[in-house]
Amino acid sequence: MISGNLFIITAASGAGKTSLVKALLEKDQHIKLSISHTTRPQRPGEENGVHYHFVKDAGFLALLEAGDFIESAFVHGARYGTSQSTVNAALAAGNDVVLEIDWQGAEQVKKTYPDAISIFILPPSLEALEERLSNRGQDSAEVIAKRMAVADAEMRHVVAFDYVTINDKFDDALQDLIAVIQSQRLKSKIQLQRHSALLQKLI
């Protein structure tokens, strides 16, 4: 059985990562999003098990101690983690899986899955980043100030990623993501496995 590809998509908060991943999933039915666990409060419009698995701090720590997470991080006052069993099941079924996580999580995942393909999304400017955070209307001015304070530190980790796109024009950034995923699927190792029957007839 051909296993799927694991993609890591990371960005500073407000750079448009979530919107781009949502559009990507709508364009490509062969990509599955790994749903992370988090202790942060559920925002208006979010569904448990769809956007995140929302858990209490004690529940998260219990899962962490049990070794259920391939990555976990404490970001902006909340905990986040990714279930290894869920990711492995999706990959084994031949699906491509996207992890929408921060740079700390990406670093941890790469240790377990060194072949994972990592993509970092940058904003066109710090001013645009602050404007996007404000326009969301989900966070207080104090929270936005804190997010901007760490944005510079987050973006310094861009050098560790395989691919980089700048989300200035949304459609262009989306096409960049699609191009990265398609190029991975066309690698000779994957294609030769997928089309082994045809190859035996041709060669």
Q: Which residue has the tokens 């459609």?
A: 171
Antiparallel, parallel or unpaired: β 78-83 and 69-75: antiparallel
- Tokens in use for 180? 């990265």
Q: Confidence band (pLDDT; 50, 70, 90) for 120?
A: very high
Q: Are 12 and 148 in contact (CB under 8 A)?
A: no
| 127-165 pLDDT per residue, tens | 898 888 887 766 778 888 888 888 888 999 999 999 999
| 65-81 pLDDT per residue, tens | 999 999 998 887 999 99
- Tokens in use for 23? 């559009």
**Percentage of the chain surpassing pLDDT 70?**
98
Tell me what pLDDT residue 203 has. 87
Compute how many other C-beta atoms are within 10 angstroms of the C-beta atom of residue 162: 14
Give the SS3 label for residue 58.
helix
Tell me what pLDDT residue 155 has. 93
- Mean pLDDT computed over 188-202: 90
**Percentage of the chain surpassing pLDDT 90?**
67
| 95-112 pLDDT per residue, tens | 999 999 989 889 999 999
E runs forming strands in 77-185 = 78-83, 96-100, 117-122, 163-166
Q: Are 173 and 166 in contact (CB under 8 A)?
A: yes
| 1-17 pLDDT per residue, tens | 568 999 999 998 788 89
- Cα 45 from Cα 29, distance rounded (Å): 23
Which domains, from first to last, does the chain contain?
A: 6-202 (3.40.50.300)
| Length in residues, the chain | 203
- Cα 107 from Cα 195, distance rounded (Å): 33
